[in-house]
Each structure stands twice: as C-alpha cells, then as structure tokens.
Amino acid sequence: MQGKETNKNPGMEHPLEIRLTRLHEEELPQILAIERESHLEPWSGESFLEELGHSFSQILVAQVREPDDGRKARQAREGSVQAPRGNLSFRMAGYICFWCVADEIQILNVTVDKKWRRRGIARRLLHHVLELARESSAQSIVLELRKSNLPARMLYENLGFQVVGERPDYYGVIREPAILMEMRIGGKGPF
C-alpha cells in the first residue's frame, strides 16, 4: 500500500507532500520518539511489535516533505547549489494503528509529531482508513479518546464521527473518562 498526495491547508503558505506507507520494523525508533512525546501513557516498542504480528491489525505511517526539499536536493545533485545539511527526503511525521474485525474498523492510535501538527496529516490518515472501510464493506469505524483531548475530538467531529458513549475512569495514570465515537459508513460525513 502506498499513497501520495499534496495537502493544501488554506492556513499554511506551503503545501506539504504526504506519503502513506505501512510501518516497517526498522522505522520503530522514529515512531517511538513521536509516541513518547505525544502521550501520557505511550505505547511501548513491544506494543507496536505485537500489532505488527496481528493479521487483523494495520499500522500506516505518514511521511512528509516540503515541496522545497525536493528542489534543493535536485539542485545539489546537479551541482548548482551546495549540498544542504540534513535529510531532504521524506521525514516521519505520524501514524495510525487500526483493527479490521468482522464488519467494524477500530482505531487504536493516531499520533502526529508536534512539529507537523495542523498540516492535515491526521485528516489524511483517517481519510485513508475511511476509503479502506468503504472498500471492505465495513459498517462502522469506532474509537475512544480521553474526554479532555479537545484537539482529537475536534478532528473526529469535523470528519463526521459522533459521540456514542462514555466510560467513566477508563484511563489509568491520570484517571478520566473515555469518550466513545463512531462513524457509520454510508452516513453523511463530510469525507
């Protein structure tokens, strides 16, 4: 699986090139760095490896490149400019882990590196899962999130998910309720 798309966020001056691929084991250290920086209770390396071992589980990563990066790399190769420092190829920016079980898709983890947030990466990952859901004739996509996680709630609501329940005291270290959200496939979400 691989998909490439240029995202034009009206708020951003430069569109971002986003590439989606399946997670490879050697990319785990990059994923873990983003995970640890983003979550109160981050998944461990073992958790990701366990998911890679399940046939019903998928982890997709989003890698990004500013359009300018490609131009600079080409110029450096052609010798018209000095080779720039740093890596100008695609950089790891986020990931999504989900299960396809029976006629339901369950999203377990969506995370975007802090420095790439509000550039449409999570939206792109979720659009991809919705396309898969439609192709696989899944009936619904479900997920859970901390009640206080307003960015995530805004993200899901704006994509057409609806709150369908609440579990009190669901999360461990910092105790707080979980919100359950669902999107019925074939409904009228703005996807």
SS3 116: helix
Minimum separation from the CB atom of position 59 to ligand COA (A):
14
Stated as kind and residue range, the H or E segment containing 93 is strand 91-101
How many Cα neighbours within 13 Å face the side chain of 109?
Answer: 24
Contact region with ligand COA (CB under 6 A), list: 20-28, 67-75, 132-140, 146-154:
146-154
SS3 130: helix
The minimum distance between CB 36 and ligand COA, in angstroms, equals 11
- Site of tokens 């983890």: 109
Any contact of residue 164 with ligand COA (CB under 6 A)? Answer: no
Of 155 and 163, which has the nearer Cβ to ligand COA? 155
| Range 99-118, binding ligand COA (CB under 6 A) | 110-112, 117-118
Closest separation in Å from C-beta 145 to ligand COA: 4
Helix axes 121-135, 150-159, angle to 10 degrees: 40
Contacts to ligand COA from residues 6-45, by CB under 6 A: 38-39
149 binds ligand COA per the rule CB under 6 A: yes
Neighbours of 190 (CB within 10 A): 6
Classify residue 42 by its DSSP letter. Answer: P
Q: Where are the alpha helices (DSSP H) in 22-119?
A: 28-38, 45-53, 67-78
- Residue of the chain from 131, 154, 166, 187 that contacts ligand COA (CB under 6 A): 154
- Specify the residue, 117 or 184, whose C-beta has the smaller distance to ligand COA: 117
Residue with tokens 């270290």, as numbered in its chain? 173
Residue 73 or 177: the one with the smaller Cβ distance to ligand COA is: 177
Name which position in 31, 121, 130, 183 contacts ligand COA (CB under 6 A). 121
Pick 100 or 155: Cβ nearer ligand COA: 155
Where does residue 46 rank: exposed (0-12), middle (13-18), buried (19+ CB within 10 A)? exposed
Contacting positions for ligand COA (CB under 6 A): 38-39, 110-112, 117-123, 145, 149, 151-152, 154-155, 158
